[in-house]
Amino acid sequence: MDQTKNPQSRVVSTSNGHYVTVDKNVNIYVEDVGEGAPVVFLHGLPVDHRMYEYQRNVLPFKGIRFIGIDLRGFGKSDRPITGYDYNRLSDDIREVIDQLNLDQVTLVGYSMGGAIAVRYMARHNGHGVSKLILAAAATPLFSQKPDYPFGLPIEVIDSIIASGYEDRPQMIAAFNSTLFHNKPSQEFMDWYNRLSLETDAIATFKCLEALGAEDSREDLAAIKVPTRIFQGMHDQMIPFEPQEKGIENAQVIRFENSGHGLWYEEKDKFNEEILKFVQS
């Protein structure tokens, strides 16, 4: 496998992508496919960037540079036991954007990845990002609060974490079964569950804790770039109304036949809407 390293950078490049060194020698894996307008994809919990297979297989042939990041603890990235709060995860994204010299990026965040994208836009003032797509994004909160009736009760999130400590494969299967309005094939679910189980267990639990604890309501107003909110109309986890109200220049794209897993359930529409937005 050919590898090149610029001695002035912290990037090791291979024929398939890059390893970017971020906090305390943690290496983040980035798949980099195609040429053209850079689109950075942030995955959801509990999988890695490979969930975007159905975008990777299409978009690079239509003028899109597909850049899929494995968050720390996921996929081919390193697996430290700390660093799973939104601030640190968004700082990792900043390192990737800087080290790969990316600019005029369209940032796509799905579910937890959408929450991290929102934190990135606020914490790093949208550095390098010209457009934002929030796909079933778990933001501004994933858990209910006395003044925020949306999302899941914190007791439900705590019970999911507790069940993972007892039987993680069963917890993963149960969690993933709630994602889709129209149940995919058993073979697809087997694949998706395998991706989920390849994620570090500590990373899974710590990210679930972050989903329950983090509050990004103040972050929404910091987003000034054109934004699209992709929302499955049968999503039982995430409402889009707080995002639409809180983000200037946000437009909702409805996916009428999807639940939380809209990137797969309506993959053709998902890809078409990305292309339309990036090329506008």
Going by C-beta distance under 8 Å and a sequence separation of 6 or more, which residues neighbour residue 203? 71, 72, 73, 74, 79, 84
Confidence of residue 37 (pLDDT cuts 50, 70, 90): very high
Q: Mean of the pLDDT values across residues 45-62?
A: 98
Query: What local confidence, expressed as pLDDT, does residue 16 receive?
Result: 78
In total, how many domains does the chain have?
Answer: 1
Mean pLDDT of 140-168: 95
Q: Does the pLDDT of residue 6 top 90, yes or no?
A: no
DSSP string, 90-124: HHHHHHHHHHTT--SEEEEEETHHHHHHHHHHHHT
Q: What is the mean pLDDT of residues 174-180?
A: 96
Burial class of residue 185, CB neighbours in 10 A (0-12, 13-18, 19+): exposed
pLDDT in tens, 99-139: 999 999 999 999 999 999 999 999 999 999 999 999 999 99
- Among 15-19, 123-127, 160-164, the minimum mean pLDDT is found in 15-19
Show which residues are catalytic.
111, 235, 260
Q: Which domain holds residue 96?
A: 4-278
pLDDT at 236: 87
pLDDT value for 3 = 35
For position 50, which CATH number holds?
3.40.50.1820
pLDDT of residue 1: 29
Q: What is the pLDDT of residues 231-267, one digit of tens each?
A: 999 998 888 999 999 999 899 999 999 999 999 999 9
- The rounded distance, in Å, linking the Cα atoms of 164 and 201 is 8
d(CA 121, CA 140): 13
pLDDT attached to residue 9: 58
Among 142-156, 191-205, 257-271, the minimum mean pLDDT is found in 142-156
| Predicted local confidence at residue 4, as pLDDT | 37
**DSSP letter string, the chain:** ---EE-TTSSEEE-SSEEEEE-GGG-EEEEEEE-SSEEEEEE--TT--GGGGHHHHTTGGGGTEEEEEE--TTSTTS---SS--SHHHHHHHHHHHHHHTT--SEEEEEETHHHHHHHHHHHHTTTTTEEEEEEES---S-SB-BTTB--SB-HHHHHHHHHHHHH-HHHHHHHHHTTS-SS---HHHHHHHHHHHHHS-HHHHHHHHHHHHH---TTTGGG--S-EEEEEETT-SS--SHHHHHHSTTEEEEEETT-SS-HHHHTHHHHHHHHHHHHT-
Mean predicted lDDT score pLDDT of the chain: 94
